[in-house]
Structure formats: C-alpha cells, structure tokens
Amino acid sequence: MDSSSWILPLIIVAALGTTASYFIGRRQNVALMKLYSYVLESALKPADQMYTWIGGYLGFKADYQLKDDVIKVIKATLHLKPRMSIMYLPVSRFTMPKDKLYVVIESKRGLPGEAHLIQKGQYRFIPAGIDKIEQFRRRPVILGGVEFELLYLDSRGEKALVGWAESIKADDYSMIKHLSFTSSTNVVYARVEPSESLIPSVLRTGQDFTRSLVK
C-alpha cells in the first residue's frame, strides 16, 4: 500500500478528534463556569455583580457588591484548565493540574498586621509574592492531615488566621492552597481548588474573619 494512501485518512481522523475534543472540553468548562457563578452568587447574595470572561472558556473575573458595614467588595477569579485544547491539555498537567479560584475580600476598614497560611510545596518554582518575607516568623501547621506553613508577624495574626482555616472545616484541606490577610492592601485572600461545598464555606467564614479583624 502506498504510504500516501493512509496519510489523508489519518489527517482527517486527527482533525475530527481535535474538533470533538474542543467542543467537549468547551462544554465542560462552560458548565463549570455556570455552576461556580451560581454557587458564588448563592453564597454571597450580592446587591450587584459584574463578570468579565477570561479567554472565552477559561474562566471569569467577577466583582460582587455587598451591602455591608465592613466589606467593600468581594472579587473572584476562576481559572479553569484548558479542557478544550487537546494539544495543551497534556502540558497543563504540569503547569496547571487543577482548576483555581482566587477570592479577594476588600475591607472598608484597616486590617491589623499580615499573615499567610500556605500549603507546603505551593510556591516551589514561583515566589509567593510576599513583601519583606524575611520579617515573618514561620511555623508548620497541619490541617486535615495536610501540611501548611504559617507566616505571621505577631501572635494575634497567627491565632486569627489558623482560626479561620479551622473554621472552614474543609472535607479535603489539600484543596486550600493559600489563605492570608494584608494590612497594606486591606484585603483577605484565599486561593483554593473550587468545589460546590468548599466555595460557600470559604466565603462565609472569610466574611466573618474579615469582620473579626476590624473589631
């Protein structure tokens, strides 16, 4: 058989497979975007919200306006794996193996100090982006059998942040990657692997934690 006789069918099969993968992956990501936006809004019950789509089907950025004496706004960024790209998906197993949700709670009032709770191994190659990190005290923390490192400036921040993490009562603490609060920006921050059960818990306890810091 002439080699050229099977090249065209092979190209056609590959093209069909790539196309099918794109539409299946796109459908999966769209479904997740709808699900997580619904979970976020149900948990927050915002007075107003605004969404900006990321890369079509890679997630969204959202601003949620609340009627609250302490909390100014809650911002969420959902970043999904590129399930629609059959070529990039294998690479993403190393660069981004899990979906990510970033939550930023902006306070109207000043927050005292700064502390970070980071799952061990999260910033092995990319710096955590913490200013003057050499000034922080450090100690290990284990939550649900998962190892974290706590960085804190004083005992109040140490106890407060661990208290928040414990109050989340996550079914799987490996889905929590980074929790923090920062006085320089007056924000409370969470980076997690999103799920229907974890998102409401992080948002509910995160708001309570923010209010507790300004008392």
What does the pLDDT read at residue 205? 98
- Cβ proximity of 108 and 69 under 8 Å: yes
Q: Which residues of 149-173 are buried (b: 16+ CB within 10 A; e: fewer)?
A: bbbbbeeebbebbbebbeebebeeb
Residue 185: helix, strand or coil by DSSP?
A: coil
What whole-number distance in Å separates Cα of residue 74 and Cα of residue 151?
A: 24
Extract the residue ranges of the chain whose pLDDT is less than 70. 1-25, 84-97, 124-127
Q: Give the global pTM.
A: 0.85
62, two tokens:
């959202």
What type of residue is 32?
A: L
**Residue 155: domain span:** 4-213
In this predicted structure, what is the pLDDT of residue 73? 97
* pLDDT tens, position by position, 148-204: 999 999 999 999 999 999 999 999 999 999 999 999 999 999 999 999 999 999 999
Count of structural domains, the chain: 1
pLDDT recorded at residue 16: 47
d(CA 180, CA 115): 6
- pLDDT at position 82 is 82
